[in-house]
Amino acid sequence: MTEQQAILQMQGIHKRFPGVVALKDVSLRLFPGEVHALMGQNGAGKSTLIKVLTGVENADSGDITLAGKAIRVTSVLEAQELGISTVYQEVNLCSNLSVAENIFIGRFPFRFGRIDWKTMNAKARTALAALNIDIDVSLPLSSYPVAIQQMVAIARALGTEAQVLILDEPTSSLDEDEVERLFDALRKLKAKGIAILFVTHFLDQTYAISDRITVLRNGELEGEYLAADLPRIQLINKMVGREIDESSFARQTESGEAKASAGEPFLAARNLGRAGTLRPLDLDVHAGQVLGLGGLLGSGRTETARLLFGIDHADSGSAKINGVPVSLNSPRKAIRQGLAFCPEDRKTEGIVAELSIRENIILALQAHRGIFRFLPLRKQTQIAEEYVKQLGIKTSDVEKPIGQLSGGNQQKALLARWLATEPKMLILDEPTRGIDVAAKLEIMDLVKTQCRKGLAILFISSEMSEVLRVSDRIAVLRDRQKIGELDGASADEQSIFRMIAGGES
Amino acid sequence: MSVTSIVRHRLFWPCVTLALLCAVNVFFNHNFFALEVRNGALYGSVIDILNRAAPLMLVAMGMTLVIATRGIDVSVGATVAIAGAVVAVMIGGTLVIKDGVQSYVANFPMPLAIIAALAVALLCGLWNGALVAGAGMQPIIATLILMVAGRGVAQLVTEGQIVTIYYEPFFFIGNGFLFGIPFALYIVAAVLLILLYLTQRTALGLFIQAVGLNPTAARFSGISARALVLWVYGFCGVTAGIAGLIITSNVKSADGNNAGLAMELDAILAVALGGTSLDGGRFSLIGTLIGALIIQTLTYAIYSLGVPPEINLVVKALVVFTVCLIQSERLRSMLFTHTARIGEKS
């Protein structure tokens, strides 16, 4: 295969955004008839590279050649005309139009100045048949499951004489059978000589379909490997990188103290699960301990948090708090049981950007008190200012809209919102995402301080080093199921990765 | 308070608009602000405008809260008709002459009729709220159902007739004066005070804003967003019901077809003119009252200017259009940066 001519070659791609270098001298090559997986952690530069390739962003420097000819892609339309098609993570089709309309939208076949429905439907059927799909193309897209919609998106992308097909996390909303169906279609395309670039976080799927893997880390090319020659554990190591500065992220777990406070868990979940999002798992969270959730993106960490906090409803298993069975089927009930939750997506699920810092901080406490036990303004200001000082939130005035604060300070304000309710257990989903290193360290110190005060904490982070730094115990997840638990004091990245890779369980 | 902070105040532009409209009125009618006392009651253009704006002010206050939760209620006009129909049918009234003494007799006691009408209005609002918060329908569609069906319900109640009321005590609500001031204004004041209390001295205001601005964050913080939205629609129904009582009392009859017609549009307009964003979140009850007064003052101006009735809707639309342009943040910033640039050049 290596003697073959690469259909697409990207070389020395540089891309700088204000304040960050997103891509540094990255190269990528795609061969006809191969599935090529692009792997890397959050922020590794995968999506920027795809954006450069599809004309959404322009590279600062570097060359792209397609079938031997140098090309310069400046718009999405141009990329499509060149034969580079993309299917994005979220199916961006029109669900109320018919399947055929979706495939041909923007390039309807015309006859006598009117849309030629007959030809269109026939062509749509042929296009889908190429993917082993036989459905009524005149029905609205919304009448089909997501997997089919994904195929329609692929058929649409292929319509334009595609030579290169880019799939950006196509499987994140599919179940196993649907994934298999998608892979069948991909194998068929592969046989036709189309080069497929596949971005995913699922390790199993990477190995099931890919011939070749390119790994990016921190905007740099880590390497290109044949899938067959790269064991899982090495892939994970390459994605995460070994050279983690151990000194700044030194473990702070005082295992003696943690063990002393252990005993009956504060929250005990047994067989808790939800079809399609999380396989049943057992979880114990102890007061005065941090339970870390380790795992790659998409492994079911957020799903676990959402089940515990009652946002999604479990359809199997049960939960006990202090030994008493509880039903956690709404955030309100979870809060009454002493739970608190800082969601992963701070902007859309956490802060109310237009409200002031004060209002954001007292929101959960006030909700807990109800409408009529209103905190007087003076009391509100006092609480807000107290937490601003205690958590080191950098602001001149608690009356400022919280949206004006930096990410790290918003996160601290959210912590303040929950600490004000005096919770028994705190669930932190990616509390350090998108904030600078200094703020990350501060947040982690806050977590440890709160833990020492007797709070039970569930800590979720994509940064394995952070999980290791704060956790007393680590539950390891993979592909939406729990695969084991490790002692925080003795675990290191290697043992977690070995577990994820399946070498040990 | 500095000049810029006054200009930036959210009520600045609504107040300017109202002042301009009053100025136009004064220009054509020098006695616009004149007040006189007749039979112990205040009379004058201003009192007239306030009195006639009372139903709209009430409906618009309920609408303000609904809009603040990122919703809308287009059924308030129909609710006005239903409440009016219920109270008219229950009171009805006949003139009885007994031993040469005239007296009016209601079918049901008036307090009972009023309570029943308001209860029906509350049910209308809760129905909307249940569709929006419970069934998750889009607010405009959910309330459109009652907007269309409500007129039919009102006509069912009145059996398709215009029901005339012959019961004097009921006329006091819409026509009476207390201490020289129209009674309807006391009702407006009472509702306003209750709302100001609820939104500023309880957590209601904070919760409504949080739900309107970021429903997910509000729910994750433990606010029962659904119950809140349900009751906000319920309350909006009640304000429409009170408005229905005033209107019915004012015209001494209930017309299921025409009572409160297009009132939802005026109410939404009043909220918008008052500076509350239709995207939900921050709201201003006082702004809404000013908005309602702008609409009524405009109507008054159109009549006193002698604009031919066939084009007065066009004139009204033009003025509203201008007002909305003035209040548009983007247009203002465009104009201001433009003039600033011209200033730099010269």
Question: DSSP of A147-160, one letter per residue?
Answer: HHHHHHHHHHHHTT
Which pLDDT does position A255 carry in this prediction?
45
**Bridge partners, residue A220, by sequence:** A24, A217
Q: Do A311 and B220 touch (CB under 8 A)?
A: yes
Domain presence at residue A33: yes
CB-based contact, A363 to chain B, within 8 Å: yes
**Residue A359: what residue type?**
E
Among A495, A498, A419, A478, residue whose Cα is nearest residue A296 = A478
The SS3 call for residue B192 is helix
Substitution target from A306, A365, A374 for chain B, most B beta carbons within 10 A: A374
With a CB cutoff of 8 Å and minimum separation 6, the contacts of A98 are: A137, A138, A139, A140, A141
The full set of domain ranges for chain B reads: 55-328
Q: Considering only alpha carbons, which residue of chain A is nearest residue B219?
A: A331
Smallest CA–CA distance, residue B228 to chain A, in Å, is 10
Q: Do B202 and A352 touch (CB under 8 A)?
A: no
Burial of A250: CB neighbours in 10 Å, binned 0-12, 13-18, 19+: exposed
pLDDT class of A245 with cuts at 50, 70, 90? very low
Q: What is the mean pLDDT of residues A419-448?
A: 83
Q: Is the pLDDT of residue B130 over 70?
A: yes
Q: Do B220 and A350 touch (CB under 8 A)?
A: yes
Whether residue A192 sits in one domain with residue A98: yes
Q: How many helices (H) and strands (E) does chain A have?
A: 17, 22
Strand A84-87 relative to strand A164-168: parallel, antiparallel, unpaired?
parallel
Whether residue A157 sits in one domain with residue A112: yes
Whether residue A137 sits in one domain with residue A122: yes
Which pLDDT does position B58 carry in this prediction?
95
Distances (CA, A) of B112 to B58, B91, B106, B115, B158: 21, 9, 11, 5, 18
CA–CA distance, B271 with B64 (Å, rounded to integer): 6
Whether residue A186 sits in one domain with residue A94: yes
Q: Do A366 and B203 touch (CB under 8 A)?
A: yes
CATH number assigned to the domain comprising residue A288: 3.40.50.300
**Residue B309: what residue type?**
P
Q: pLDDT, tens digit, for every residue of A255-271?
A: 444 444 457 888 888 88
Smallest CA–CA distance, residue B206 to chain A, in Å, is 8
**Residue A178: what residue type?**
E
Whether residue A397 sits in one domain with residue A254: no
Which residues of chain B approach chain A closer than 8 Å at the C-beta?
A: 201-204, 206-207, 209-210, 213-214, 216-224, 281-282
Task: Count interface pairs A-B at CB distance under 8 A.
Answer: 73
pLDDT class of B339 with cuts at 50, 70, 90? low
Whether residue A278 sits in one domain with residue A346: no
Whether residue A323 sits in one domain with residue A310: yes
**H or E segment to which residue A191 belongs:** helix A176-191
Q: What is the mean pLDDT of residues A49-53?
A: 87
**Phi, psi dihedrals of residue A242, rounded to the nearest 5°:** -85, -30
Smallest CA–CA distance, residue B129 to chain A, in Å, is 19
Burial of B29: CB neighbours in 10 Å, binned 0-12, 13-18, 19+: middle
**Phi, psi dihedrals of residue A107, rounded to the nearest 5°:** -145, 50
Angle at the Cα of A60 from the Cα atoms of A54 and A65, rounded to 5 degrees: 50
Q: Is the pLDDT of residue A107 over 60?
A: yes
Q: Which of A5-14, A34-43, B65-74 has the lowest mean pLDDT?
A: A34-43
Average pLDDT, chain A: 82
Structural contact between residues A223 and A239, judged by C-beta atoms closer than 8 angstroms? no
Domain boundary among A210, A240, A270: A240
pLDDT class of A436 with cuts at 50, 70, 90? low
Q: pLDDT, tens digit, for every residue of B36-66?
A: 888 777 888 888 899 889 999 999 999 999 9
CA–CA distance, A292 with A295 (Å, rounded to integer): 10
Domain presence at residue A55: yes
CA–CA distance, A384 with A370 (Å, rounded to integer): 18
Q: What is the mean pLDDT of residues A193-218?
A: 86
In eight-state DSSP terms, residue A466 is H
Domain presence at residue A208: yes
Of A341, A353, A372, the CB nearest to B220: A341
Domain presence at residue A216: yes
Task: Name the residue with tokens 């930036």.
Answer: B8
With a CB cutoff of 8 Å and minimum separation 6, the contacts of A104 are: A120, A123, A124, A156, A159
Q: What is the mean pLDDT of residues B26-43?
A: 81
Domain presence at residue A445: no
Which pLDDT does position B236 carry in this prediction?
95
Whether residue A317 sits in one domain with residue A389: no
**Phi, psi dihedrals of residue A375, rounded to the nearest 5°:** -75, 125
Respond yes or no on whether ipTM tops 0.95: no
Domain boundary among A220, A240, A260: A240
Residues of chain B neighbouring A354 (CB-CB closer than 8 A): 209, 213, 281-282
Domain presence at residue A16: yes
pLDDT class of A89 with cuts at 50, 70, 90? low
Which pLDDT does position A256 carry in this prediction?
42
Q: Which domain holds residue A487?
A: 246-338+426-434+457-505
Q: Considering only alpha carbons, which residue of chain A is nearest residue B223?
A: A367
CA–CA distance, B61 with B236 (Å, rounded to integer): 8
CA–CA distance, B42 with B180 (Å, rounded to integer): 5
Whether residue A251 sits in one domain with residue A220: no
pLDDT class of A150 with cuts at 50, 70, 90? confident
Quote the tokens at residue A403: 């949206």
Which pLDDT does position A504 carry in this prediction?
43
Of B204, B220, B222, the CB nearest to A349: B220
Give the strands of the sheet with A220-226, arranged side by side.
A69-71, A61-66, A8-17, A20-30, A220-226, A212-217, A35-39, A195-199, A164-168, A84-87
Domain boundary among A208, A240, A272: A240
CA–CA distance, B107 with B111 (Å, rounded to integer): 12
Q: What is the CA radius of gyration of chain B?
A: 22
Cite the DSSP H helix spans in A201-330: 203-209, 232-240, 255-261, 301-308
In eight-state DSSP terms, residue A309 is T
Q: What is the mean pLDDT of residues A36-54?
A: 82
Q: What is the mean pLDDT of residues A447-476?
A: 87
Among B129, B149, B110, residue whose Cα is nearest residue B245 = B110
Q: What is the mean pLDDT of residues A353-378?
A: 90
Q: pLDDT, tens digit, for every residue of B236-287?
A: 999 999 999 999 998 888 887 888 888 998 999 999 888 888 888 889 999 9
Which pLDDT does position A244 carry in this prediction?
40
The percentage of chain A sitting over the pLDDT mark of 70, rounded to a whole number, equals 90
Determine how many CB atoms are found less than 10 A away from the CB of residue A29.
18
Quote the tokens at residue A447: 């977590």
Which pLDDT does position B67 carry in this prediction?
94
Which pLDDT does position B285 carry in this prediction?
93
The SS3 call for residue A41 is coil
Whether residue A143 sits in one domain with residue A81: yes
Q: How many domains does chain A have?
A: 3
Q: What is the mean pLDDT of residues B315-321?
A: 81
Smallest CA–CA distance, residue A306 to chain B, in Å, is 10
Of A331, A354, A368, the CB nearest to B220: A331
Whether residue A187 sits in one domain with residue A51: yes
Whether residue A122 sits in one domain with residue A215: yes
Which pLDDT does position B117 carry in this prediction?
93
Angle at the Cα of A79 from the Cα atoms of A78 and A83, rounded to 5 degrees: 115
**Residue A132: what residue type?**
N
Of B204, B220, B222, the CB nearest to A343: B220
Which pLDDT does position B32 carry in this prediction?
82
CA–CA distance, A285 with A458 (Å, rounded to integer): 7
Structural contact between residues B276 and B64, judged by C-beta atoms closer than 8 angstroms? yes
CB-based contact, A353 to chain B, within 8 Å: yes
Which pLDDT does position A1 carry in this prediction?
44
**What's the distance, CA A296 to chain centroid?**
9
